[in-house]
């Protein structure tokens, strides 16, 4: 019985892990290019979740239509925040950008609180179910996983095959050398931050398919923690490493929850979060650049 439950949770963890990985790609991209750690990461995920909720509940539109809206909104926010705040902090001490992104995240949370209130919300998107021998998967989760894979593949080809993607990679390798070769480094910084925030807001749309009643202004905190664990696991500056690390993290998270739930007198949710911190600490001690590379 426990074996079947573990197998089912591992399947669910793998599907959710793909979304975790995609949700972390923006964090890794921003750090890889700008060397800025976005500690307000979860607040941007929250923005995507509320965009989905608003379009579904108020406009009666499928969450699929929220994807381009979230991407455009996220990129617009990214350009605005970079132009008004972070452009001035590129060469500043790391603490300045940490405080700035923390403050921006708090600002977004307070705006959402005033617009939507603090209660937990959700929506029910009926798309059918996939019955497997060990579990039953709602098709909405499969769509979210497929969307994460598709976005990751598109980003890979954008980085490898386009002029803008090549410019971004050159700045990651050597910003001074890229500038000497004619690359507009300031433009690359702005574009990278905008894409990173766009991907993060976009991931909020996909994550809502796993949290039917979990949308609220302060939902981002747990996702920020998970994103940091996934980013460090995959290599903090590696967007692709983040995706594969997300798969591994989803398996570990759901698998450990099943094991802890079988132990008497144990609170499985709290221990699962504890395992996240332990993973982060162990990885940093063993290989600070991440297990799946640094670029």
Q: 3-class SS at 150?
A: helix
pLDDT tens-place string over residues 120-140: 998 988 888 988 888 889 999
Provide the 3-class DSSP secondary structure of residue 33: helix
Domains in the chain: boundaries: 2-119+127-286
| CATH no. for 2-119+127-286 | 1.10.3470
pLDDT tens digits for range 10-23: 999 999 999 999 99
Q: What dihedral do alpha carbons 159, 163, 168, 170 form, nearest 10°?
A: 110
Helix extents (H) in the chain? 2-34, 41-57, 63-84, 94-116, 139-161, 163-173, 175-180, 185-207, 220-234, 239-261, 268-286
Q: Is the pLDDT at 273 greater than 50, yes or no?
A: yes
Based on the number of CB atoms within 10 Å of its own CB, is 65 exposed (0-12), middle (13-18) or buried (19 or more)? Answer: middle
Q: How confident is the model at residue 256 (pLDDT cuts 50, 70, 90)?
A: confident
Could you tell me the pTM of the whole model? 0.91
pLDDT of residue 124: 86
pLDDT tens track for 46-102 = 999 999 999 999 998 999 999 999 999 999 999 999 999 999 888 888 889 999 999
Distances (CA, A) of 201 to 68, 169, 185, 285: 10, 23, 24, 31
pLDDT reading at 279 higher than 90: no
Most confident option among 194-208, 221-235, 242-256: 194-208
Q: Work out the mean pLDDT of the chain and round it to a whole number.
A: 89
| For residue 295, pLDDT beyond 50 | no
Rg (CA), the chain: 19
Residue that the structure tokens 């300031």 belong to? 186
């Amino acid at each position: 019985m426990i074996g079947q439950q573990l197998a089912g949770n591992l399947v669910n963890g793998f599907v959710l892990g793909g979304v975790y990985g995609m949700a972390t790609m923006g964090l890794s991209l921003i750090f890889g290019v700008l060397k800025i750690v976005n500690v307000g990461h979860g607040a941007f995920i929250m923005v995507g979740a509320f965009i989905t909720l608003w379009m579904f509940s108020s406009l009666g539109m499928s969450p699929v239509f929220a994807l381009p809206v979230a991407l455009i909104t996220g990129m617009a926010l990214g350009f605005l925040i970079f132009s008004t705040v972070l452009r001035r902090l590129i060469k500043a001490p790391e603490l300045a950008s940490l405080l700035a992104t923390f403050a921006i995240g708090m600002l977004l949370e307070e705006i959402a609180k005033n617009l939507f209130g603090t209660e937990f919300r959700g929506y029910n998107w009926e798309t059918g179910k996939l019955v497997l021998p060990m579990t039953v998967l709602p098709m909405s989760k499969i769509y979210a996983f497929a969307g994460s894979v598709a976005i990751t593949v598109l980003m890979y080809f954008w980085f490898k095959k386009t002029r803008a993607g090549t410019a971004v990679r050159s700045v990651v390798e050597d910003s001074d050398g890229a500038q000497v070769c004619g690359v507009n480094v300031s433009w690359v910084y702005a574009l990278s931050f905008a894409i990173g925030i766009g991907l993060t807001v976009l991931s909020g749309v996909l994550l809502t398919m796993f949290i039917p009643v979990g949308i609220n202004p302060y939902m981002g905190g747990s996702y920020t923690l998970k994103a940091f664990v996934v980013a460090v696991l995959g290599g903090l500056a590696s967007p692709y490493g983040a995706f594969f690390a997300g798969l591994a993290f989803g398996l570990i998270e759901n698998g450990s929850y099943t094991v802890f739930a079988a132990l008497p007198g144990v609170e499985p949710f709290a221990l699962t979060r504890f395992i996240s911190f332990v993973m982060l600490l162990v990885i940093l001690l063993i290989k600070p650049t991440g297990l799946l590379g640094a670029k």
